[in-house]
Structure 1
Amino acid sequence: MNPQLDPVAAPSVGRPLWVQVEAGLHVANTGAGFVGTVTATPYGYEAMDGVGARRGTFVSLTDAKTALEEVAGGVAVPTAIAAAPAL
């Protein structure tokens, strides 16, 4: 008699885990990989996705995090505020 083995489950993608690694810098990961970063700037919260593409500057930290979570999940991204002026 051969015992049946349970199939190995892939890591759960689930909701990203956000961590504030220093003042003004938040990073997120899921079981599937790196989601991105949100950085506080004088113009709002700048979101960069897991491959380094700028996803916009948002009025709130929550909006920036939501944008990255939606990109990671394949959902349409909320509209960012106007681009920050060049320094």
Structure 2
Amino acid sequence: MSVAARAETAPLSDAAIVEAYLTASMIPDPDAAAAYMAPGTVITFTGGREFDHPRGPTGFNAKRYRWVKKKMTDSTSAPAMAKPSL
């Protein structure tokens, strides 16, 4: 197995998942972005709009903007908080 193939199967950090999602969504490739979402994820967007797939924000932005270029410089993440037991 090549190094490239092994790298593709290695688990991504939380920050890497977010960066990959944002990169795919800015291309825009909403179907590729969806691969980084857990089932049942709801995207809360500008104005409280809720979408269950990246096609929602992509379609919304397509009506508002012709082209936008963003530059991501770095990502950080906080550890997940444990859910309180009931």
Q: TM-score, normalised by structure 2?
A: 0.27
Greater helix content: 2
More strand by share: 1
| Higher RCO, Cα 8 Å, sep 6+ | 2
- When Rg is computed on C-alpha atoms for both structures, the one with the higher figure is 1
TM-score normalized by the length of structure 1: 0.27
